[in-house]
Chains A and B, each alone.
Chain A
Amino acid sequence: MRRPPKESAESARIIGRRALVVGALQLGLAGSLLMRMRSMQLEQAEQFRLLADENRINVHLLPPARGLIFDRNGVLLAGNEQYYRVTMTREDAGDVETVLRRLSKLVPMTEEEIQDAMKEVSERSRFVPVTIVDRLSWEDISRVTVNAPALPGITAEVGLSRFYPQGADMAHVVGYVGPVSDYDLSRTEDRDPLLQIPKFQIGKTGAENKMEQTLRGSAGTLHVEVNALGRVMRELDRQEGEPGADIQLTIDSKLQTYVEARLEGESAGAVVIDLEKGDLRAVVSAPSFDPNLFVRGISVKDWTDLNENPYRPLAAKAVQGIYPPGSTFKMMTALAAIEEGVLDPEETIYCRGYTEVSGTRFHCWKTAGHGNVNLHDSLKHSCDCYYYEVGQRIGIDKISEMAQRFGIGVRHDLPLSAVAEGLAPTKEWKRRVRGEDWRIGDTVNASIGQGDVLASPLQLAVMAARLATGRNITPRLVHTVDGVEQGADADQPIGVNENSLRRIRAAMDAVSNNNRGTAYGSRISEVSMRLAGKTGTSQVRRITAEERARGVTSNADLPWERRDHALFVSFAPVENPRFACAIVVEHGGGGSSTAAPIARDIMLQALYDGPPPLEAYPSNVRNRIEEQQKRIENRIAPGAYPTSDRA
């Protein structure tokens, strides 16, 4: 360039000066970049590392195996069975429709199921396995695996599901599980992440529900590394969960099955208590239902059938059904009066067939009257007038206090659904609940277990157990958890004079074993196994004066739902009681005609730990009993309940 040297030097000077400014700006910018790196990589590194891990690590929950439920002898009541399902992964399948069509020829699939599966597969990411068919049999799954080469993208998988080998017999005790629902989630405080697993099975009723935390176990975790699309790249860490604890119930499944079969055709509840530790040997509600139906998702038809059955198979009558205890309550009235000293057991009260109380006539079941009766005879004949008088002497509050000591009107703490509290009414209760004053007529009704008194078969069995032992027997359903004995503390004495109790027991012995007792027909003839009991027939309707004038209508002439409930409470053997039993047959007619024979059969089954010899029965009924035993044996033959298979 032809340019004066002076200008050239000047130019270089300018450029140099200006370049310094540029350089300084560049350094400044570079410095701020450096500061940014420092702040992100040195100061916030931990935080970003965490975010990176959150990005890449997915946690999958591994559902634990649910604890098993056994009976007292180790018979499986609730188990886990493997079932098979078929899943499909879109990216491996290629032509989804063709593969599904081929699959539908091998396993039962409706056209609708095929369409649903196609929709679901196309909606999910191409590498996510989608369940196509569930609960396949071994045969079906074998066909699928054999044909695997023709079914790209199809995988056979094994899952665990609950099943109940005892079927209906245990339904009301063990309960059933079902997939966790939004409703379940909305009312639970439980924050267990397992509940978030779709279709995770939780206990819905019975012990399955009440012992959920014990049975469930804890979730295992599987950490996998995923890429930005969510595809699993590798397994990082696998932590197996804790399987749920196994539970052994006090139930004797052999006895339970027998009772269920014996009650066939009735709507009834029965409870058998082992007097040694208060073990519940049988808690039966009839009719029952197959809990396996609910595990798989019950069909509308099955549900309607169960719901509309007048015998209410879904109700656990043994613990949640409450009935007026009728004459079985008379022991409470008598004991309260004796304990308070207002009644001498030897004192006789005259029964003329009715008692007049403030202008109202209360009738004895025997229109002609029992004449002079003492405590013993009043129980043996189940005289009502005796108790009308005794009840008025002692008053309702003392009667109810005694009833509560014997477990009536008390909610027994058992891991079962809807355990009923029943009712031992008091003056205070009536004022609070009904807003009315207690009247003397109410006491008269309550003294024979009618009116406001309500008890469940469980409570009546507990009452019988406490009467038989004089101990405060607490019913127990859970025998062991994970092999550890549960709540088998020795029961304390009930605190009622033993002499009074002995008198009551002697009277109950007479009910069954004195030839004038109300349950003499249902006696046990084997002397060492003799049973003591008390019948009860509780009215579900009011007998009008007009009806009474016509003569009491026979139960057989009434429609089923208006007939009396038949009750029987008992313990055996008389000398050294081992079992107590209570039974309520809804609308069964009379306690002595309907309930007592059933109670005898159950008691003998329990005492002999199996079918009793015919010699234990009085000779006149042996033929009938033999037939009955055969019938029941056939009914409970093995395989009577289908276990599991795809419905």
Chain B
Amino acid sequence: MSLLESSYKNVPTGIRKLLYVNWAIVLLTIAIACAGFLMLYSVAGGSVEPWLDPQLNRFGFGLFLMIAIGMVPIWFWRNVSAVGYIISLLLLVAVELFGEVRMGAQRWINLGFMVLQPSELAKITLVMFLAAYYDWLPLAKRSRPLWIAIPLAAVLVPTFLVFKQPDLGTALLLAVGGGTIIWLAGVHWAYFAVVVSAGIGTIWAVFESKGTSWQLLKDYQYDRINIFLDPSQDPLGAGYHITQAKIALGSGGVTGRGFMQGTQSGLDFLPEAHTDFIFTTLAEEFGFIGATTLLALYLLLIGFCFASALQNRDRFSSLLTLGISMTFFLYFAVNMAMVMGLAPVVGVPLPLVSYGGSAMLVLMVGFGLVQSAHIHRPR
């Protein structure tokens, strides 16, 4: 019985676990979700229908899920990681075969009792699987090519499947999220140097392939990229979204136009004001102060995750916590960059704020795992 093994004996049990929940994280998720509730109410023109009501229910369920998952010992989650990952892969394949096409992409699978977006599930299971893998792998083997091939494949297979759907945003999140765990596990930096160069090469290839038979992206994705680079070339067409989003955001000024006073969202100039572009509504109505406050809340949440992960001497736990916080970070960073015109429009929601079930539940499950890791950390 090792030192660590014995330290698990001090882990709280039963109802006492509630005392060890990381309440800071719970409170921050509630605070962030509340910002979302306000905005959904405003975007609906001062009504709980059609968005606020379902969102509240979902978040309530999500909170319950977070605590419930947190109560389950972390080693259980570690043990089911591989299974969960394989199930996600199967669902991704299933979506490819039987998925529903919505908004031009195959992303949804109807399970009968609910509509599931397997790519969202894959974000969590991939992190879990990689954390478990490096927890299992002896430290000395981490940089050997063979032992790198496995996690690399584990990242690339779901990434490729999601990319094919096509959902560029989620594929990017999966790749970067998975890559982050491999980095955190301590794999030699030279590999990352190679990957970064390869990434640059890929970007080159993407542009080079345009208009050829091996074109890597769909035409609308090229359009999005082109218009991202120069929104003015199509102000009323595809560039309309970005232009209107920037106008909304910029016109907020320091203090914003006031709750429910945003004209860009109120008068329907903003596309998708309740989902991907909800941040611009917030920035329009609450201004620089509101926008930076939300950013601060997000960073604070990440900070608490980091603190929890670095305190935790269990390798699976800290890798998992960091991986989930990285996924969370990618969500809001990509979303904000996108609506502010710093990144192409790739369809990533603002976490815990945007209207939508899959993303919110997956994030709450993720924070549930973080809670589990926190509660059951070796002492």
Contact = CB atoms under 8 A, between A and B. Distances in A.
B190 interface: no
B238 interface: no
B303 to A, nearest CB: 8
Given A38-B288, A42-B288, A225-B267, A49 B186 contact: no
B317 to A, nearest CB: 10
Question: Looking at B247, B306, B313, B340, which has the most chain A CB atoms within 10 Å of its CB?
Answer: B247
Given A41-B287, A227-B267, A12 B250 contact: no
Interface in A495-522: none
B326 interface: yes
Nearest to A229: B268
A15 B315 contact: yes
Nearest to B283: A41
Given A38-B288, A227-B269, A5 B4 contact: yes
Interface string A1-39: 111110110111011101101110011011011101110
A7 B314 CA distance: 12
A11 B264 contact: no
Contacts of B337: 29, 33, 36
Contact of A5 (B3, B186, B306, B336): B3
A40 interface: yes
B345 interface: no
B254 A41 contact: yes
Interface residues of B, number: 53
A185 interface: no
Contacts of A350: none
A226 B267 contact: yes
Given A1-B315, A37-B340, A233-B267, A22 B288 contact: no
B294 to A, nearest CB: 10
A632 to B, nearest CB: 66
A12 B4 contact: no
- Of A2, A36, A41, chain B has the most CB atoms within 10 Å of the CB of A41
B4 A15 contact: no
Contact of A36 (B4, B180, B251, B342): B342
B5 A2 contact: yes
Contact of B291 (A12, A22, A41, A233): A41
Interface stretch (A51-59, A373-381, A578-586): A51-59
A21 to B, nearest CB: 8
Contacts of B212: none
A202 to B, nearest CB: 33
Contacts of A44: 250
A48 interface: yes
Contacts of B252: 41, 45
Contacts of B18: none
Contact of A11 (B292, B306, B315): B315
A586 to B, nearest CB: 61
B340 A2 contact: no
B295 interface: yes
A47 interface: yes
Nearest to A7: B139
A257 B189 CA distance: 104
Given A7-B138, A34-B295, A228-B268, A22 B315 contact: no
B329 interface: yes
A53 B262 CA distance: 11
B313 to A, nearest CB: 6
Contacts of A55: 244, 247, 263-264, 267, 269
A44 B247 CA distance: 10
Contacts of B313: 8, 12
B250 A26 contact: no
B302 interface: yes
A52 B263 contact: yes
B135 A1 contact: yes
B247 A1 contact: no
A233 B266 CA distance: 10
Given A37-B340, A45-B251, A228-B267, A3 B2 contact: yes
Nearest to B309: A19
Contacts of A52: 247-248, 251, 263-264, 269
B239 to A, nearest CB: 14
Nearest to B318: A15
Interface residues of A, number: 47
B379 to A, nearest CB: 14
A47 B2 CA distance: 65
Given A48-B246, A227-B267, A30 B318 contact: no
A218 to B, nearest CB: 29
Contacts of A225: 263, 267
Contact of A15 (B184, B250, B268, B288): B184
B191 interface: no
A227 B268 contact: yes
Given A30-B299, A41-B253, A55-B263, A23 B306 contact: yes
Nearest to A45: B253
A245 to B, nearest CB: 39
Interface string B1-20: 01111000000000000000
B319 interface: yes
B248 to A, nearest CB: 7
A1 to B, nearest CB: 7
A227 B322 CA distance: 44
B333 interface: yes
A225 B313 CA distance: 60
B184 A22 contact: yes
Contacts of B340: 33, 36-37, 40
B183 A48 contact: no
Given A34-B295, A41-B288, A56-B263, A10 B4 contact: no
A7 to B, nearest CB: 5
Contacts of B288: 37-38, 41-42
A22 B342 CA distance: 20
Nearest to B4: A8
B300 to A, nearest CB: 11
B50 to A, nearest CB: 18
B250 A48 contact: yes
B249 interface: yes
A21 B184 CA distance: 9
Contacts of A27: 299
B310 interface: yes
B139 A10 contact: yes
B247 to A, nearest CB: 5
B2 A19 contact: no
A18 B319 CA distance: 11
Contacts of A4: 2
A22 B247 contact: no
A462 B5 CA distance: 124
Contacts of A16: 310
Given A7-B139, A18-B184, A36-B342, A1 B4 contact: yes
15 contacts: A5-B4, A11-B139, A15-B185, A15-B319, A21-B183, A22-B326, A30-B295, A36-B342, A37-B295, A41-B288, A44-B250, A45-B250, A48-B249, A49-B250, A49-B253
List the 9 closest A-B pairs by CB distance, nearest first: A48-B250, A14-B186, A45-B253, A227-B267, A52-B251, A41-B288, A228-B268, A48-B251, A40-B250
Interface of B: 2-5, 135, 138-139, 180, 183-186, 244, 246-254, 263-264, 267-269, 283, 287-288, 291-292, 295, 298-299, 302, 306, 309-310, 313-316, 318-319, 322, 326, 329, 333, 336-337, 340, 342
Given A18-B183, A41-B252, 10 more contacts: A1-B4, A5-B4, A14-B186, A15-B309, A19-B184, A22-B322, A33-B295, A37-B340, A45-B254, A56-B264
